[in-house]
Amino acid sequence: MATHPTSPARFTDEQRRARLARRHLLLPGARAGRVERVADALVGLHATDAATVYLSACARLAEPSAAEVERALYGDVSLVKLLSMRRTIFAVSAELAPQVSAAAARAIAVKERATLMKHLRDGAEGWDERRLAEAERAVLAALAERGEATTAELAEDVPALRETILMAPGKPYEARQSVGSRLLRLLASDGHMRRCKPRGSWLSSSYPWALVAPWPDVPVREAKAEVIRRWLAGYGPGTVEDVKWWTGWTLREVRTALADLGAVEVSLDGGGTGLVLPGDVEESTEVEPWAALLPGLDPTVLGWRGRDWYLDPELAPALFDRSGNNGPTVWWNGRVVGGWAQRADGELVWRLLRDVGTAGEVAVAAEAERLAGWLDGVRVTPRFRTPLERELTA
């Protein structure tokens, strides 16, 4: 890892917030025209909750619409979902997908396979590696014949998918899961298949599957360096701890990639040490005032492990659940200042937890109107409910 030849450059919290505004496309003048641009700016969009991809993208699009996101996900297939960093599903551009696959998804698929095989041995009858391989081949053959199909439709062709696994046997929370739900997830992790357009609204999780061509082979070390390069370009300066947390990789893997990039050390407010790409030090702190309403699990909220420079720790209990998942947030000039929600009738409501002045209140209201406009009556309930979101919808 390279260091500054004399003394490290200094980044104030104000400078970091200005970079966040520009590079995460949250300034009105910086918004994107296409979803692919948004995904690349953020490295990827969190996709654990289907609605997050739409809400995160549209918060940064000059002309937000669910149709634009659907085009990228299911029409052009220029945005693909991969189980990758932190064992989280990310929607990444097709251009970056080979690197993300090599850097993170492949290793996760190996672990997923071992975990599934253990569950099959412990909680199902007659399963071993040979039968699992046979079931996988049968699923891929059926999918090739059908073109696209749901899990239930594939189970008509491959009856083994209807068998169940007893999870956590003997525990109070034991439950049965279908082999199909686990096996298809594994095949997706391995890069053999992808999710197609849901059968229902864009909020639906009832989607069919389709085959995909294999990604180009990329050396793992090269792929890891490229993923971290993208992260530093969008999120830097960040600490080693930030990078390790965001990727979910070992400290050695992170340090190797940073060294390969020649990452430059800078000093941060509070005495910490951050990292940026070579030559990425100078940038103005002047940005226009801005507000944003970002969804639960938005990449900006979860971009760093150390968040004090944009999130007052006192606000976290209201805006995060006990597992560390954030709910919908309200932003003003680079800081989280409150949360928002939708009531049962679709009405969008918010609460400011910090004083933002008259200008801030007006800007937040305008963003709420913009969000409500493209939602057009569609009601979104976050997958992970937080105290403030529940209170606002009560």
pLDDT band at 362 (very low <50, low <70, confident <90, very high): very high
Q: Report yes or no: 117 and 161 within 8 Å, Cβ to Cβ.
A: no
Calculate mean pLDDT across residues 201-210: 86
Burial of 333 (0-12, 13-18, 19+ CB in 10 A): buried
Q: Report yes or no: 364 and 349 within 8 Å, Cβ to Cβ.
A: no
Q: What predicted TM-score, i.e. pTM, was given to this entire model?
A: 0.93
Core vs surface per residue 191-215: b (16+ CB within 10 A) or e:
bbbbbbebeeebeeeebbbbeeeeb
Residue 228 sits at the vertex; the CA angle it makes with 227 and 233, to the nearest 5 degrees, is 100
**How confident is the model over 2-53, as pLDDT tens digits?**
544 567 899 999 999 999 999 999 999 999 999 999 999 999 999 999 899 9
- Percentage of residues in the chain with pLDDT exceeding 70? 98
Q: Could you give the strand order of the β-sheet that contains 264-268, starting from the edge strand earlier in sequence?
A: 9-11, 264-268, 273-276
Higher-confidence residue: 319 or 2? 319
For residue 108 the two structure tokens come to 């996760």
pLDDT of residue 4: 47
Q: Report yes or no: 312 and 331 within 8 Å, Cβ to Cβ.
A: no
Mean pLDDT of the chain, nearest integer: 94
- Percentage of residues in the chain with pLDDT exceeding 90? 85
Through-space distance between the first and last CA atoms of the chain, rounded to whole angstroms: 51
Q: DSSP labels for 20-84?
A: HHHHTT-SGGG-BSSHHHHHHHTSSEE-SSHHHHHHHHHTTBSS--HHHHHIIIIIS--EEEEE-
Using DSSP's 3-state secondary structure scheme, residue 331 falls into: strand
| 228 residue type, one letter | I
Closest by Cα among 284, 286, 287, 272 to 237: 272
Residue 223 CA to residue 190 CA, distance in Å, equals: 17
Residue 122 CA to residue 176 CA, distance in Å, equals: 12
